[in-house]
Amino acid sequence: MIDQRRIVNAIMTVTTAACAFAVVALLLLILGYISYQGISSISWQFLVETPKPVGEGGGIGNAIVGSLILLGLASAVGIPVGIAVGTYLSELGSGWFGKTVRFVADTMIGVPSIVFGVFVYGLVVVRQGYFSTLAGSLALALIMIPIVSRTTEEMIRLVPDTMREGALALGAPRWRVTLDIVLPAAMAGIATGAMLAIARVLGETAPLLFTAFGSRFYNIYLDEPMASLTVQIYHYAISPFEEWHAKAWAATLVLITLILGINILVRIVTRRRY
Amino acid sequence: MRRSSCVLIILSVLLAGCFSGRHSRGDSIKIQGAGSTFINPLMQKWVHEFGALEPSIKIDYQSIGSGGAIKQVKERTIQFGATDVAMSDEDLRSAPGELLHIPVILGAVVLTYNLESVKENLRFSPETIADIFLGKISRWDDERIRADNPYVEFPPVELTVVHRSDGSGTSAVFTNYLAKVSPEWKEKVGEGTSPAWPVGLGGKGNEGVTGQVKQTPNTIGYVELAYAVKNKLPVAQIRNSAGNFITPDFRTVSNAAAESVDIAPADLRFTITNAKGADAYPISSYVFVLIYKDQQQRNLGDALVDFLVWSLNDGQKNAQPLLYAPLPAEMVRRSTAKLAEVNFQGESLLASHSGEGK
Amino acid sequence: MAAKPSKILTGDNVFSTVLMLCAASVLLIAVSMVIVMTESSWLSIREFGLGFLVGQVWDPVKGEFGALPFIWGTIMSSLLALVIAVPLSIAVAVFLVEQAPKSVARPLGFLVELLAAIPSVVYGLWAIFVLAPILRVHVQPALQAVLGWLPFFQGTITGIGMLTGGVVLAIMITPIITAVTRDVLEAVPVTQREASLALGATKWETTRIVLSNASSGIAGAVILGLGRAIGETMAVTMVIGNRPQISVSLFDPAYSIASVIANEYTEATGDLYLSALTEMGLILFIVTFGVTALAKLLIMSVANRNTPRH
């Protein structure tokens, strides 16, 4: 008996490790492929200049700035609202209303991003008569909310009830318990959710194509079209030219590095505070 | 601490809001254009070169597709569009103002293939192309393909068709050609940006079709010339209406346009596929710029006409290096004449630029 | 769950009202999206009625529109992706949390999260140039040789088709499912593992207990992944073949709802055509709704079989 259990244990240990290494190897392969294709195009000029015609160099400086502005605005709306929804669902949402919201949020995760783009286009761009950064951020924020809320809810659920009961027994009001005890306890997981949402929208092209549109200039105005890394990658990737393809891979590398930076930043901040 | 971060977020939103002020910003003129992905590399070249000549005019062009251009021009979210396919009567009627079509450059759709054992450039007659894309020819060693290429040894393998899956001007031009040369195609499939293909794999974008043809043995597909050339894929010769097999290049494409000037209607909405002429490549097409005849702002309309006049003249020299074909001289004249109709409150905006573009 | 909130304290009332408003905003967004989309697809709904759902022809030139092949392609490709990605992701997460030392687990975790950010157009290009040739040359012939008697593995091998689409999707959603599952596993109290190990259970038996305790969270992770798979456009469309047909063979080309919207929306002109494409978006809502419900039921039944939750 014991032997059989030990054998199963050994087999499963090896299997999971093998799976892990296979997946990681695959992921490294993709990352390696992107680096291989893109690294030679990365230079200081590439990082700060605006796009130029094929054969004349040019870069993605405005697209980096644009992506960060779009992401910042979208996160400022999407992450707090998402966390609030997730908190509601796990702490208060056991009734029919909560169930409905949960199901709707799950469905919204599956809605292709282009549909959000089309929705915001009709709602904002057509009415205002021009493409704008704000419209782009709104589309991204709408995509973020269900992702953040879903992960927040799962993470909060895993906070042991004993922690809540302890704080409540000490006479703390419900909202203080949630804000000061439950949310901090779930913070690492919530941060993962936020990171996934950030990663998802930073990698999105379709919702920006008809909202933030794109631009070849540096821009800080929120009521004007705004460049973004993904739209720029898209334009480079679909061209016939080798040089632009290399730029697309290089811009992807920059995008991944940005995510890495944001990820580390978020981890440091959430770990230090809570 | 949470609250402080909330305050920070709100502050940053407010701060960002202060940046806006769309209508009170410098005195440079901003023009937004968008449309055809096909013309994008050339358009980027144009807006940069023109920007260097006229630093006060800031023109931007985003490649969102020809259909996108038509929709956005109608919504007036952009000042000019570029499309590979002329607008339909229905679209023109539903636009809020009269739109003009200005042909600005020429392109070619080419047949490309992946057949490892064959080193020669293949030749195709129109009937063979139609039969391949109708699914009636399913092998490379079919006698109809062999009849077009009597000296080529074909391997006994199945043939896989690759077509565009996204709505595209390239498909519209290609099916327009097929509908002209094959009654069966016209009846069964018809022409359009997204026809229902009888057979084959769909690739997204020119780059998707190029990639699939490049990676998959025994495939055949159609792409814009630049994609085949830049990816070092073979380009087929196609038999034109005069009976000659023609290799697509800037010269044979310009020829097709030059031979077709006399069929150009007054509004310049026309196709030049299956053009007559001994040396005309049969799957050639124009890219049109869409612009409102009645401009609402004088300085904006001025700048736009300025830019287009420059593109039709000095800009044409940028075409060939990027694998487009320049307009024949006669068509430059027709386009310019059409541009003269663009006006601000009845006054032609071209008249004030008569000194330019000679 | 915890005790009921007290209604006397105003702080609590304000707090729960704010949270509820946020939750309501999700409903509002979804409802207004459905209304706007229904409105703009009305022409097509009226023209084709329920026939739209079962129609098999998609011909914009002739103005004939049917959604069935796309619904089929969407469901099959996402299920295929789940079948591959879920066991893999859970295995990776188990490895990261239960087996690997922290110094290995942390950088690997980072890596996994990074990959969630690669734009789908890049995954798509990678799939055409790297994945599809590998599948065509090595995987598909092997599958056909061994399992060729099954209808799933018959037909011409081109490297482009349902299988390739499903594999790309699986690769794209693996980081998402892994990241969330890892956090869920990490949140299971250490005391549970200690208790189990103290009772003489092996590491794997302990892991099983941890997994079943985390099953609700893992379900959430799977749903996140499923959502991404259903709504994914660019990467799938590069390799799925984009042919609106219903075929059980995984080697044949197929098409998905999200892909056809992304492929044709920007170039579509004409009212009926646009309207039909918008109706596709509406149908995707419904399909997602159904598939999500199904996935939840499945996961819950597996979870309940293992251990009933408190």
Interchain CB distance below 8 Å, A13 and C99: yes
Interchain CB distance below 8 Å, A213 and B226: no
Q: Write out residues 22-61 of C within 8 Å (CB-CB) of B.
A: 57-61
DSSP B101: E
User: Cβ contacts of residue C281 below 8 Å, gap of 6+?
Assistant: A111, A112, A115, A118, C37, C41, C257, C261
CA C31 to chain centre: 22
Convert C223-247 to b/e letters by CB count within 10 Å (16 or more is b). Answer: bbbbbbbbbbbbbbbbbbbbbbeeb
Which chain B residues touch A76 with a CB distance below 8 Å? 9, 12-13
Which chain B residues touch A52 with a CB distance below 8 Å? 44, 48
Interchain CB distance below 8 Å, A223 and B20: yes
pLDDT in tens, B115-155: 988 888 899 999 999 999 999 999 999 999 999 999 999 99
Considering only alpha carbons, which residue of chain A is nearest residue B23? Answer: A223
Q: Is there a contact between C212 and C196 (Cβ–Cβ < 8 Å)?
A: no
Helices C215-231 and A133-157 sit at what angle, rounded to 10 degrees?
160
- Closest partner residue to A240 among B19, B45, B206, by Cβ? B206
The pLDDT of residue B10: 52
The pLDDT of residue B25: 55
In A60-112, where does DSSP find H-type helix? 61-87, 96-109
Interchain CB distance below 8 Å, A73 and B13: yes
In chain B, where does DSSP find H-type helix? 2-18, 40-53, 66-75, 89-94, 126-134, 143-148, 169-181, 183-188, 205-215, 225-230, 250-258, 298-312, 329-339
CA distance B211 to chain C (A): 6
In which order are the strands placed within the sheet that holds B219-224? B57-63, B29-35, B80-83, B284-292, B99-114, B219-224, B160-164, B201-203
DSSP B277: S
Residue B60: helix, strand or coil by DSSP? strand
C39 touches chain A (CB under 8 A): no
- Closest partner residue to C289 among A16, A107, A114, by Cβ? A107
- Closest partner residue to C119 among A110, A209, A233, by Cβ? A233
Mean pLDDT of C64-81: 92
CA distance C272 to chain A (A): 17
A145 touches chain B (CB under 8 A): no
In A90-227, where does DSSP find H-type helix? 96-109, 113-120, 126-128, 133-157, 161-169, 174-176, 183-185, 187-202, 206-209
Quick check: pTM over 0.95?
no
CA distance B245 to chain C (A): 30
Q: Write out residues 41-80 of A within 8 Å (CB-CB) of C.
A: none
Q: Which two tokens stand for residue A158?
A: 């895993």
- Closest partner residue to A217 among B22, B58, B76, by Cβ? B58
Residue C58: helix, strand or coil by DSSP? strand
- Closest partner residue to B216 among C57, C158, C234, by Cβ? C158
- What are the residue ranges in chain B where pLDDT is below 50? 1-4, 7, 14-15, 17-24, 355-358
Interchain CB distance below 8 Å, A84 and C18: yes
The pLDDT of residue B295: 94
CA-based angle A259:A262:A268, to the nearest 5?
140
φ/ψ of C305, rounded to 5, equals: -65, -35
Chains near B with 3+ CB pairs less than 8 A apart are: A, C
Query: In whole angstroms, what is the distance from residue B44 CA to residue A11 CA?
Result: 59
Which chain B residues touch C263 with a CB distance below 8 Å? 165-167, 194, 202, 204
φ/ψ of C139, rounded to 5, equals: -80, -50
Interchain CB distance below 8 Å, A263 and C110: yes
Which chain C residues touch B223 with a CB distance below 8 Å? none
pLDDT in tens, C274-305: 889 889 988 888 888 787 777 777 666 665 55
The pLDDT of residue B354: 52
- What are the residue ranges in chain A where pLDDT is below 70? 1-2, 271-274
Which chain A residues touch B77 with a CB distance below 8 Å? 125-126, 129-131
Interchain CB distance below 8 Å, A240 and B210: yes
Q: Is there a contact between C249 and C152 (Cβ–Cβ < 8 Å)?
A: yes
Q: Is there a contact between B310 and B50 (Cβ–Cβ < 8 Å)?
A: yes
Candidates A134, A179, A213: best to mutate against B (most CBs of B within 10 A) is A213
Chains near C with 3+ CB pairs less than 8 A apart are: A, B
Which chain A residues touch C309 with a CB distance below 8 Å? none
Q: Is there a contact between B19 and A220 (Cβ–Cβ < 8 Å)?
A: yes
Interchain CB distance below 8 Å, A222 and B17: yes
Which chain B residues touch A222 with a CB distance below 8 Å? 16-17, 19-20
Closest CA to B86 of B265, B249, B224: B265
Interchain CB distance below 8 Å, C133 and B66: no
Interchain CB distance below 8 Å, B91 and C269: yes
Q: What is the DSSP string of A145-170?
A: HHHHHHHHHHHHHTS-HHHHHHHHHT
CA distance B275 to chain A (A): 26
Q: Write out residues 243-272 of C within 8 Å (CB-CB) of B.
A: 243, 253, 255, 259, 262-264, 266-270
Interchain CB distance below 8 Å, A225 and B60: yes
Q: Write out residues 150-209 of A within 8 Å (CB-CB) of C.
A: 150-151, 153-155, 157-161, 164-165, 168, 173-176, 178-179, 186, 188-189, 192-193, 195-196, 198-200, 202-206, 209
Which chain A residues touch C19 with a CB distance below 8 Å? 84-85, 87-88, 91-92
Q: Write out residues 199-228 of A within 8 Å (CB-CB) of C.
A: 199-200, 202-206, 209-210
Which chain C residues touch B88 with a CB distance below 8 Å? 269-270
CA distance C58 to chain B (A): 7
CB pairs under 8 A between A and C: 314
CA distance A176 to chain B (A): 12
Interchain CB distance below 8 Å, C59 and B166: no
Q: Is there a contact between A181 and A161 (Cβ–Cβ < 8 Å)?
A: no
The pLDDT of residue A274: 43
A239 touches chain B (CB under 8 A): yes
Q: Is there a contact between C79 and A8 (Cβ–Cβ < 8 Å)?
A: no
Interchain CB distance below 8 Å, B196 and C62: yes
